Each structure stands twice: as C-alpha cells, then as structure tokens.
Amino acid sequence: MALRGVLESPEFRGLRMPLGFKARMSSMGPVTTSQKARTGRDWMLAWLACGSLASMSGIAQTDVDALEEPVAQPATQPVQPTTPYSGESADPATEIVPGTDSGDAANLVLTEPPDPIASGERQVASSIAEFGRKSLQAAEAYIDLADAQRQANEYEKAAENYLSAVEVYRSIDGPFTPLAIAPLTSLGDNYHDAADDVNAVAAYSEARTVSRRAYGLHNEEQIALLDRMSRSLLDLNQLTEAEEQQIEALRLVQRSHPADSDAVLAAIYKYAGWLGERLLFQLQRDQYTRALRIIRQAYGDNDLRLVAPLLGIGNTYREERNPSGAGISSLQDALALLLEQPERDPVAVAGALRDIGDWNVAFGKTGYEGTEYQRAWQLLGSAPNGDALRREWFSGANYVLYEPISPRSLSTDPDAASGHVTVRFNIDVSGNSSNVELVESDPVGFKDEAVLRHIRRSRFRPLMDNGQLVPGRNLAIQVKFRYLPEAVLSDEDD
C-alpha cells in the first residue's frame, strides 16, 4: 500500500469530531440542513424475513446524538452496487434546433430538463411490454426508477421498486442469485436515507446472506455491507452491535491475507479510526501499537510503513486532549523516518509537519510561530495537488483541540427532536478564537451558551496565505444535536 494512500485516509487527515458531533464549517456564514424523511415500513421487514426463510429452504456540521455519523446488468457475472442515480441527464438543458444556424442566439430553444421519474416509469412499462415482467430488462428498469425516486426523496416508492427488482432476479436465477445483491444494498441505502435504519439493517443483512452463499462465507465483498450495517446500528444507538460488524470486517481481511500484509495493516487502521470516532482512544492506540509490532517484526525498525501508526498514535493523544510526551514523540519519530528517505514524499512530510504544528497549537503555552506549518506550505508547492491541499489544510475552521459540548438534556434517541446552533467567530494566528457571537439557534436559547463556550475554549489551526500565518475572519460553525423536548420547556441552558 502506498504511504500517501494511508496518510490521506480519513483517520490520518486531522482531528475527527467526537462521537455524535458533526460540525459544518464555513467562512461565508451559517449552514443549513434538511431533515430526513422517516418511513414506517414494518411490512418490508416481514418481506425480507420471509425471503430469508424461503432462502433457507434452499440450504455511520456538529451532530450531538447524545454525545453523540450498479444497476444489475443482464450479463452472466454478478455486479456490485453503484452510486445512486444523480438525477442528471445526458441531454443538455439547452438545445439547438436542427437545421438552424448554431451561431444565431435567436434560434436557441430552451427545453425543460427531462423528468427522471417519468422517464423511469416509461422505461419500466416499455421493458415489461417488450421483454415480459420476469425479465432482466424489467429488473434493470425497476432499479433505474427506484434510483430516481430515491434521489427525489420518494423513499417508499423507491423501496417498492427495489423490491420488485429483487423479486424478478430471484424468479429468474433463484433465491441466492448474486444479481440481487445490488438492489438489496440500494434498498438498505434507501431506508438509511429515510432514517429507517431498522429496515436498513434487515436489507443489508439479506444482501450479506446472498453474498456469502454466492461467493463464500469469507469473501471480502461483504465488508462494504458490514460497514453499512455498522453505520445504521450506530444510528439506532446500538454501539456493541455496530462494533461487532467492524470486528468481523477486520477478521475477514485477516483470513484472506498474510498477517504482515498491507491489506491487514489497512484493515487495522480502518478499525482504529472507527474506535477513535467513538472516543475510544486507548483502544484506538492499542490497534496502532499492534500495527507497529507487526511492521517491526516483519520489516524492521526503519520501514516507511511505521509512519502511519506513529502519526495515528500521536494524533490520538491530541484528540483525547492529553499532552502526554508519548504523543509528540510519536509524531517526531514519524517525521524523522520520512526525512531519512532518499526520495522524500513532499505530501507525506508536509502532513507530519502539519500534525506537529497542530500539537504545538493545541498544547503550546505561548504563541506558536508556525514554523512547521510554514515548512509544510513550502513542501506542498512541489506536489501536484499542493494548491488543493493548501486550501484544505490552511483555510476555514479546522479544530486542533476540541472542547466537548455539554451533553446535558441531549438525547441518543434517533427519533428525538433535532436542533442546532450557528456561531460566527475569528481565529488569530495562534489558533485562538475571538469575537464569538451567536448567529441563530433552534430551539432559541437551549444550547446557545454551551456552544459559545465550546468555541471559545477550542483551539483551531491558524489560517495561511502565501506561506504566512494570517487571522481568520467571520468563520462560521453550525452545531447540530438531538434533544429532549421537556428539557426545552424547563428553559435550562448549559
């Protein structure tokens, strides 16, 4: 595995929000979000359960959840799920009338963009008329229509058409046809989008059952399904069950690859990142330490693979708000190892320098001069994607020390009411916030002071312009949470 690929993975790209907190940040003002619709399709669970029984006869802004996260082809080989239908059409919104002068603006005719749902419904009817209801073409048409309906937030109708596709595939190729995996997975995603995670878990479980029968009990294709199940279980506040899916995903990789392989190391880092997102920092460090031991035993004490777990260990201490010397030592060891290489990777070195700079801002007793940040900025100038990384790393509000928000009166119930607080503030060249002010909140006054206090006590990465630290002005963060309605009635602000 390439080192840059590891270092640019989510667990190595700066501070993650603690469990249940998702902050949306902007330099332009407040950010708004929309509520997800919820369905109550209990009968879908029964349908999936019946499908499983029939089959047996053949053999996871700042969100505070309490503290607080392919279309099947008519080919013989199975396919995997694709991204949802985007709602975009290949047909342009502006057309030139055939036979006219394309340079004459008067001849341009504006046309309405095609309606993907109406097009999908026509395609379903056409496919059934031409090929029959129990045909691969009909199943594909059902999936296309469901994708369009899901994109339009018509979740119940989308679920019906995903289920129709599954039924068609099974009528053609049996209850364990791998062709059913894609629409079952999309069905689960559709339920998750609709905030119906009970049915989402059922759909993902059904897809995994088919995957194991089609490709073997230990096939790695099911890892994506385990991750989806884990995400939905977290939304249902079932942490233990969610972690079981992550552990199973790690075991699947370990069964298929040598213990010291890059694939196993990547799976360990993935699990470590998941633990960190749950604020289980010591368990996260245990996984990074395990990776260090594997690498040293297999490849020696100077192998470049050591950089990723060293950075991981160092950053977990900072995320834990623990200024232990073991944290900065791990970061410095990673940087030293990178600098020893005859051919240095500028992005990897810049990333280690950035992390050391973050440590100094988080725990420094006096004003930080930004030496490591400036060196990182210069190194990024020689990287192909250096300008994009400069913007990502050194603009906006990036936490380096996250002060927890009081969980008082908040709820872990996924059905609890949602609220938010939007604040605006400045950041000085030492990473301190100033001029912190409330922009708006809902419910008004409920968590205003708690969020304002959180911003004042947190530390942020200083902004940079042309290689120099500069103040940040009018930055905004929106904190989202779930709460108990009775707490608002008591009018108690933290």
Q: Is residue 473 part of a domain?
A: no
What are all long-range contacts of 214-219, with beta carbons under 8 Å and residues at least 24 apart? 214/78, 214/176, 214/177, 214/178, 214/181, 215/178, 218/252, 218/255, 218/256, 219/252
Domain of 128, in residue numbers: 49-60+70-236
Query: What pLDDT was estimated at residue 408?
Result: 87
Q: Is residue 87 part of a domain?
A: yes
Q: Is residue 19 part of a domain?
A: no
Residue 20 pLDDT grade (very low, low, confident, very high; cuts 50, 70, 90): very low
**Span 150-173, mean pLDDT?**
97
Q: Is residue 419 part of a domain?
A: no
Residue 486 pLDDT grade (very low, low, confident, very high; cuts 50, 70, 90): confident
Tell me which range, 52-56, 99-103, 388-392, is most confidently predicted by mean pLDDT: 388-392
Query: How high does pLDDT run on average in the chain?
Result: 83
pLDDT digits (tens, 9 = 90+) for 195-248: 999 999 999 999 999 999 999 999 999 999 999 999 999 999 999 999 999 999
Residue type, 480: K
How far apart CA 228 and CA 201 sit, in angstroms, is: 8
Task: Look up the CATH number of the domain holding residue 80.
Answer: 1.25.40.10
CB 14 within 8 A of CB 358: yes
Helices (H), 102-135: 116-131
Q: What is the dihedral of CA 50, 53, 58, 59, to 10 degrees?
A: 150
Q: Is residue 409 part of a domain?
A: no
pLDDT digits (tens, 9 = 90+) for 456-482: 999 999 999 999 999 999 999 999 998
Residue 487 pLDDT grade (very low, low, confident, very high; cuts 50, 70, 90): confident
Q: Is residue 105 part of a domain?
A: yes
DSSP assignment of 242-302, as one string? HHHHHHHHHHHHHHHS-TTSHHHHHHHHHHHHHHHHTT-HHHHHHHHHHHHHHHHHHH-TT
Which of 416, 410, 418 is CA-nearest to residue 35?
418
Q: Domain count of the chain?
A: 1
Residue 8 pLDDT grade (very low, low, confident, very high; cuts 50, 70, 90): low
pLDDT digits (tens, 9 = 90+) for 339-390: 999 999 999 999 999 999 999 999 987 778 999 999 999 999 999 999 999 9
How far apart CA 193 and CA 147 sit, in angstroms, is: 12
pLDDT digits (tens, 9 = 90+) for 415-424: 889 999 999 9
Query: What pLDDT was estimated at residue 489?
Result: 66
Q: Is residue 209 part of a domain?
A: yes
Q: Is residue 368 part of a domain?
A: no
How far apart CA 198 and CA 454 sit, in angstroms, is: 34
Query: What pLDDT was estimated at residue 110?
Result: 59
